[in-house]
Amino acid sequence: MSAMMDDQGSSVMFIRGNQVHSMDGSSLELELETFQRQVTLRFLELAAVGNDDLLSLAWMRKLLDIFILCQDELRMIFFNHRAQVMKPPMDRIVSDFFERCVKALDLCNAVRDGIEQIKQCQRLLEIVLCALDQKRIIGEGQCRRAKKALADLANCMFDDKESSAYMALRNRSFGRNTTIKDLYQIHNQNSNYQHRSVGHFRSLSWSVSRNWSAAKQLQAIGNSLCPPKSNDLVATNGLAMPVYTMSSVLLFVMWALVAAIPCQDRRLQLHILIPRQFPWSAPLLSLHERIMEDSKKKERKNACGLLREIQQIEKCARVINELVDTLQFPLAEEKGEEVRQRVQDLSHVLEALKDGLDPLERQVREVFHVIVRGRVGT
């Protein structure tokens, strides 16, 4: 037997020998029912959110909170019914579940890198903010600095596969839907910025090998995931059900994380299969649909991540870049005012980032720990 560890890593309970709790059938039924109900309620609440808040930093944190709670509750169920958990077919079902969980660990690590990439963007924005600070008199030098930082920002927010395609683009009109990447193009042509350095932010941050793919990991997590067969349900006294539920939750949460945060080889068009017949299906399906819709929108198509704040960064940066291009020196009064306004918008975005990124990073790490903790000794 093995010990299950609590938060501090000390053993909650050591079981030696064959001492085992035998809980009667009715309490198991109650536990299973409660678990399903909790999952459903939590996701219903999560889904009842406006489009502006979907995939925001705050929403992501709620999502991860839910995951952590559910995972811990499942762990308790396993613990209360240890004898059953170790007998076939439950032992196979549980070990499959843990296999999926291990794949999720790698995704957690990749997402952590992605959050770091967003922090890079945050720092670049801080440079822009500093350059166009209203306390100074804004001159050409500051503008150049701001533009350079914005160009770096574009570089930072590139999707891996897209970069080469964009490199090829030469003549592109400066229209309303111009994205940051276009601006990068222009900048690249106008300056001696080395092609080499396109890779530099990414190569610094990625702790995974070049062939690792977030999409493949997700695929593997969802691989042959299907509702438990009726004979399995009977043989396990229904314990197979919460395992399936949690596997689905795991898949969805990881999918949402990859959708929101920059990762190597995201490929969002990858569909995950969510079953229709369970009470928790409805909120998951609704969220899935909405996020997919979001990803298909023109301006979001090539985003490095669907996180709401990334969209805000893009918008803000584009606006400021356009504005800076139109500036003539010395600065006219209204222009100065406009700059001040935009800079204020920018500082709001930065505040949100500053407040939200570190806690999110910590939570992703907590998800990692929770998954590791949940592995009863194999």
Partner 1 sequence: MAENNGEEKLLAVARHIAKTLGHNTNMADDILQIFSNFDGRFSKENLADKVADGDPRACAALDHSLKSLDRRISQFVSSDRPIWADSADAVAFLDAVDELVAAVAEWSQLSTDKAFGACLARAEDMLQHAMFRLEDEFRSLMERAGESFDLTPPYRNGVESVENIPFDSEEEENELETAVNDGAEEDQIPVALPVTDYDIVIDALPAGTINDLHEIARRMVAGGLQKLSIEEVHKMPWQDLEDEIERWIKASNVSLKILFPSERRLCDRVFFGFSAAADLSFMEVCRGSTIQLLNFADAVAIGSRSPERLFRILDVFETLRDLIPEFEALFSDQYSVSLRNEAITIWKRLGEAIRGIFMELENLIRRDPAKVGVPGGGLHPITRYVMNYLRAACRSRQTLEQVFEDYGHPLKDYPKLDDRVAPNSSLSVQMDWIMELLESNLEAKSKIYNDPALCYVFLMNNGRYIVQKAKDSELGTLLGDDWIRKHTAKVRQYHVQYQRSSWNKVLGILKLDGSSNGSLGPNGAAKSMKEKLKMFNTQFENLCRVQSSWFVFDEQLREEIRIALEKILLPAYGSFIGRFHTELGKNADKYVKYGVEDIEVKLNDLFQGSSGSTGSRK
Instruction: List, as one string, the DSSP characters of 202-259.
Output: HHHH--S-TT--HHHHHHHHHTT--PPPHHHHHHTTTTHHHHHHHHHHHHHHHHHHHH
Stretch that binds partner 1, among 176-184, 195-203, 238-246, 273-281 (CB under 8 A): 195-203
- Binding status of residue 335 toward partner 1 by CB under 8 A: no
- Binding status of residue 209 toward partner 1 by CB under 8 A: yes
Chain center to CA of 21: 39
- The β-bridge relationship of strands 11-13 and 4-5 is antiparallel
- Binding status of residue 139 toward partner 1 by CB under 8 A: yes
Distance from C-alpha of 349 to C-alpha of 225, rounded to nearest angstrom:
39
Closest CB 145 distance from partner 1, rounded Å = 6
- Binding status of residue 10 toward partner 1 by CB under 8 A: yes
Q: Which CB sits closer to partner 1, 106 or 338? A: 106
- Binding status of residue 75 toward partner 1 by CB under 8 A: no
Stretch that binds partner 1, among 103-111, 176-184, 266-274, 281-289 (CB under 8 A): 103-111
Question: By rule CB under 8 A, what count of residues binds partner 1?
Answer: 46
Distance from C-alpha of 37 to C-alpha of 194, rounded to nearest angstrom:
56
Stretch that binds partner 1, among 27-35, 58-66, 136-144, 244-252 (CB under 8 A): 136-144
Distance from C-alpha of 283 to C-alpha of 289, rounded to nearest angstrom:
10
Distance from C-alpha of 298 to C-alpha of 319, rounded to nearest angstrom:
18
Q: Which of residues 355-374 bind partner 1 (CB under 8 A)?
A: 361, 365, 369, 372
Q: Which CB sits closer to partner 1, 62 or 216? A: 216
Size (the chain), residues: 378
- Binding status of residue 192 toward partner 1 by CB under 8 A: no
Among positions 199, 296, 299, 354, the unique one binding partner 1 when judged by CB under 8 A: 199
Among positions 172, 210, 229, 271, the unique one binding partner 1 when judged by CB under 8 A: 210
Q: Closest Cα partner for 361 from 257, 243, 284? A: 257
Segment holding 5, helix H or strand E: strand 4-5
Closest CB 209 distance from partner 1, rounded Å = 4
In this structure, what token pair is assigned to residue 309? Answer: 């704040």
Residue 197: count of CB within 10 angstroms of its CB = 11
Closest CB 171 distance from partner 1, rounded Å = 25
Cα–Cα distances in Å, from 367 out to 69, 108, 329, 373?
A: 10, 8, 51, 10
In this structure, what token pair is assigned to residue 104? Answer: 């999720």
Closest CB 103 distance from partner 1, rounded Å = 6
Q: Which CB sits closer to partner 1, 120 or 185? A: 120
User: Longest Cα pair distance anywhere in the chain, in angstroms?
Assistant: 84
Closest CB 268 distance from partner 1, rounded Å = 20
Distance from C-alpha of 268 to C-alpha of 106, rounded to nearest angstrom:
18
Q: Which CB sits closer to partner 1, 68 or 105? A: 105
One-letter amino acid of 84: Q
Closest CB 234 distance from partner 1, rounded Å = 28
Give me the residues that bind partner 1 (CB under 8 A), please: 1-3, 5, 9-11, 14, 16, 102-103, 105-106, 109, 112-113, 116, 120, 123, 127, 139, 141-142, 145, 196-197, 199-201, 203-212, 361, 365, 369, 372, 375, 377-378
